[in-house]
């Protein structure tokens, strides 16, 4: 008998590698299924999104734009991408939308390629004040060899100092004035700074990665109507889709739109992960139906949790402004550069509460920060509401203030989360769990 190509008896070692990966994948799913996922940059996908993400599209190519491809076999994907562009334009009220980006950072690299020459000047929020790493020399800004100047920061308001930043922009005269953060509690005061940028001849870019779902749901701010020429973002944070990014613009100038499209392909993407693009399109359709309610409930939960944490004795930043207007809450756990935030995140994980340590204004050591950044977008997605936020604040207190044994608190965490497994705000009439 002729041997079937590819048929083989696997070695024990090779099979063990695969089995270990499958087990770790299962264990990771269990961690989030029975724990409280509170990392501000994460979310879960709906069953219909999962269906198209786990499809034959994962290995296909469609370089170019709908109807203008470099490969055959793209007719069906042209349908998918065309629907997605239309939905993104509607939801974000944007004359231009490109949905090909594989991440928020890739969106930023592409946007910076279009908006500033290599070696050009840029202004942005520093990472120490909450700016994203792609806004820094260590990330996309450095990759594009841009000359970075960071905005003066108002620690009490957790936003750029408006007057000082406007003065800075006029002095520096950047090619691109970049706004938006990774620690993002409040809307950026865009109008004044965008006006200063336009007076200086700068393009205005807004990185909405963390708050894109809140913007689309009308619950945060409207950067494309507040002076931004371009808005980038992630498709998997408060916008509850698969991993990926968006590139959006308020411009109706066709030559500028072509420049933005070219910045994505061939600029920073070749194959752009068709299965994730298809997942984005399904998520856009779901968001069109349920997005406003989801965004409202997310912000309400964040405000409730912040207030509850403060009442339990935690140092929650920006109390004078009501703590937050987004999905995020930021807490301080010790002196600057003390590593108290890292220690708090570690002990919380032992109790089944998944967070991330975060630098606060004044911290200088990324691996030894004093703060935590918390997000409620995934908890909202599975149906938790204001009442559960009170319960969660008490769990934090038991772990971090009362010093209770984390394993005991983990039991309470598991009991609470067991009642919230179904993905909401999506096409999920069968009430399928969002976890394996």
Cβ proximity of 417 and 35 under 8 Å: yes
State the pLDDT at residue 436. Answer: 82
Strand-strand pairing, 153-154 and 353-354: unpaired
State the pLDDT at residue 68. Answer: 95
C-alpha span between 238 and 246 (Å, rounded) = 13
State the pLDDT at residue 271. Answer: 87
State the pLDDT at residue 228. Answer: 98
- Residues ≥6 apart with Cβ < 8 Å to 255: none
State the pLDDT at residue 10. Answer: 83
- Residues ≥6 apart with Cβ < 8 Å to 256: 249
C-alpha dihedral (13, 17, 19, 25), degrees to nearest 10:
170
pTM of the shown model: 0.96
Indicate the burial class of 228 (C-beta count within 10 angstroms; 0-12, 13-18, 19 or more).
buried
Mapped onto helix, strand or coil, the DSSP state of residue 89 is helix
C-alpha span between 364 and 386 (Å, rounded) = 35
Please report the domains of the chain, with CATH numbers, ordered by start residue: 50-286 (3.40.640.10), 291-417 (3.90.1150.10)
Cβ proximity of 273 and 102 under 8 Å: yes
**Tens-binned pLDDT, residue by residue, of the chain (436 aa):** 467 777 678 888 999 999 999 999 999 999 999 999 999 999 999 999 999 999 999 999 999 999 999 999 999 999 999 999 999 999 999 999 999 999 999 999 999 999 999 999 999 999 989 999 999 999 999 999 999 999 999 999 999 999 999 999 999 999 999 999 999 999 999 999 999 999 999 999 999 999 999 999 999 999 999 999 999 999 999 999 999 999 999 999 999 999 999 999 999 999 899 999 999 999 999 999 999 999 999 999 999 999 999 999 999 999 999 999 999 999 999 999 999 999 999 999 999 999 999 999 999 999 999 999 999 999 999 999 999 999 999 999 999 999 999 999 999 999 999 999 999 999 999 999 988 8
Mapped onto helix, strand or coil, the DSSP state of residue 393 is helix
Structure tokens at 67: 């109807």
């Amino acid at each position: 008998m002729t041997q079937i190509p590819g048929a083989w008896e696997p070695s024990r070692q090779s099979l063990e590698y695969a089995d270990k990966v499958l087990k770790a994948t299962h264990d990771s799913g269990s961690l989030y299924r029975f724990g409280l996922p509170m990392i501000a940059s994460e979310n879960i996908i709906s069953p219909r999104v999962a269906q198209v993400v786990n499809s034959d599209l994962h290995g296909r190519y469609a370089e170019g734009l709908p109807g203008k491809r470099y490969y055959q076999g793209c007719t069906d994907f042209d349908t998918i991408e065309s629907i997605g562009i239309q939905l993104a334009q509607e939801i974000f009220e944007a004359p231009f939308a490109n949905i090909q980006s594989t991440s928020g950072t890739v969106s930023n690299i592409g946007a910076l390629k279009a908006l500033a020459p290599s070696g050009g000047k840029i202004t942005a929020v520093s990472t120490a004040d909450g700016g994203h790493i792609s806004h820094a020399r260590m990330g996309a800004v450095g990759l594009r060899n841009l000359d970075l100047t960071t905005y003066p920061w108002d620690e009490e308001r957790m936003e750029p100092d408006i007057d000082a930043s406007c003065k800075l922009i006029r002095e520096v005269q950047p090619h691109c004035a970049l706004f938006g953060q990774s620690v993002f509690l409040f809307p950026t005061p865009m109008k004044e700074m965008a006006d200063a940028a336009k007076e200086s001849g700068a393009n205005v870019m807004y990185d909405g990665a963390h708050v894109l779902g809140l913007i689309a749901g009308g619950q945060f701010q409207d950067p494309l109507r507040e002076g931004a020429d371009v808005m980038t973002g992630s498709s998997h944070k408060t916008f509850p889709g698969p991993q990926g990014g968006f590139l959006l613009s308020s411009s109706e100038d066709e030559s500028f739109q072509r420049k933005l499209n070219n910045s994505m392909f061939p600029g920073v993407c070749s194959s752009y992960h068709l299965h994730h693009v298809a997942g984005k399109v399904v998520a856009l359709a779901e968001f069109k139906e349920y997005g406003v309610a989801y965004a409202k409930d997310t912000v309400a939960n964040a405000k409730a949790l912040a207030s509850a944490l403060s009442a339990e004795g935690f140092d929650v930043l920006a109390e004078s402004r009501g703590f937050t207007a987004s999905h995020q809450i930021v807490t301080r756990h010790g002196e600057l550069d003390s590593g108290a935030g890292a220690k708090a995140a570690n002990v919380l994980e032992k109790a089944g509460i998944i967070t991330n340590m975060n630098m606060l204004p004044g911290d200088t050591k990324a691996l030894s920060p004093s703060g935590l950044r918390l997000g409620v977008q995934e908890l909202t997605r599975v149906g938790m509401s204001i009442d559960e936020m009170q319960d969660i604040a008490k769990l934090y207190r038991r772990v971090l203030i009362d010093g209770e044994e984390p394993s005991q608190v983990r039991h309470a965490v598991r009991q609470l989360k067991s009642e919230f497994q179904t993905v909401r705000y999506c096409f999920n009439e069968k009430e399928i769990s969002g976890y394996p």
